[in-house]
Structure 1
């Protein structure tokens, strides 16, 4: 929790609620750090996170990661589209959003054509697996946040 407080300048209520299970909190923080260290660029990582958060209806996650996108200099149209679950104007980031949704919809059984479409935007197979890491990390977070009624 100290690392989180240092990063955010405070301990977010969602993190405090997850601390009821130190195992879950530590797992989330470790996975989150791994995802942050991945080769996906920061805004692409946030696209994955926001796509999962919107899909899973985690309002606190959407709010927190809207702030993160603003810190990264993302434009308001991109943020609004992500929050609404709409297609993105940026084709490369839209490829990440669509691929994330496809991985979720197929439980990882993405069709070859869908994987090729993702790769055609300059992403790699490593990036595809990093999307899976982000989905796993933020599925855990969004479900736990909803369960604990984090606000």
Structure 2
């Protein structure tokens, strides 16, 4: 148990979750600790798994999708997801300098990716309440209304994982070794 949450195996998970965990095992070759925690709630695990699949259908390239994820994770200060998505971003051939910039809260050299990073960060930080000027700047960088809404799909996906990891204090998986991250520490638990 971690912070009161069980790291489920298919044998300990509710039946509806076990089926999803088996699918994750087949697709990834292992079951990440996040999924093992989410397995406690078949609805939560299904929601995350479904949104993850839907996120692949956005109009973003794999590189753009990973920049959005990293920007959201940075704002939500999720150490588990930052470690995981750092390595997933490398696998998606995201430039190492861009990954490092997002992890450090610095601008990305590529202007279009920087506009994407900024917009995703603002949407997350301000819970979707962004100005018309923010949307206009995002569109001026080459994005459109579909991209505005696609950022929300990725934000919803990361809301489930980032918040779960905060609540459960999910331990990193072995594939994350070397990608550990210390967040800026702006978020503090409520008293």
TM-score range (shorter-chain normalised) is over 0.9
Summarize deviations over 1:68-108 as a string: whole Å, max 9, x none: 11111122211111111211111111111111122123332
Calculate the TM-score normalised by the size of structure 1. Answer: 0.94
5 Å-filtered alignment, 1:83-94, equals 83-94=103-114
Greater C-alpha radius of gyration: 2
The Cα shift of 1:7 comes to 2.7
CA distance in 2, matches of 1:38, 1:127: 8
Contact preservation (8 Å) 2:67, 2:99: no
SS in 1 for 2:141: coil
Query: Could you list the runs of 4 or more consecutive aligned residues of structure 1 that deviate by over 6 angstroms after TM superposition?
Result: none
Equivalent residue number for residue 37 of structure 1? 57
Equivalent residue number for residue 140 of structure 1? 160
Which deviates the most, 22-31 or 52-61? Answer: 52-61
Is 1:5 aligned to residue 36 of structure 2? no
Tell me which protein shows more helix as a share of its residues.
1
Is 1:119 aligned to residue 139 of structure 2? yes
SS in 2 for 1:89: coil
SS in 2 for 1:88: coil
Gap regions ≥5 residues in structure 1: none
SS in 2 for 1:85: coil
Calculate the TM-score normalised by the size of structure 2. Answer: 0.75
Q: Which of 48, 59, 69 is matched with 2:68 structurally?
A: 48
CA distance in 1, matches of 2:114, 2:62: 14
SS in 2 for 1:100: helix
Summarize deviations over 1:39-83 as a string: whole Å, max 9, x none: 111111111111121222211111111111111112221111111
The Cα shift of 1:8 comes to 2.0
Equivalent residue number for residue 106 of structure 1? 126
CA distance in 1, matches of 2:44, 2:144: 30
Count of aligned positions: 151
Which deviates the most, 61-70 or 51-60? Answer: 51-60
The Cα shift of 1:144 comes to 0.5
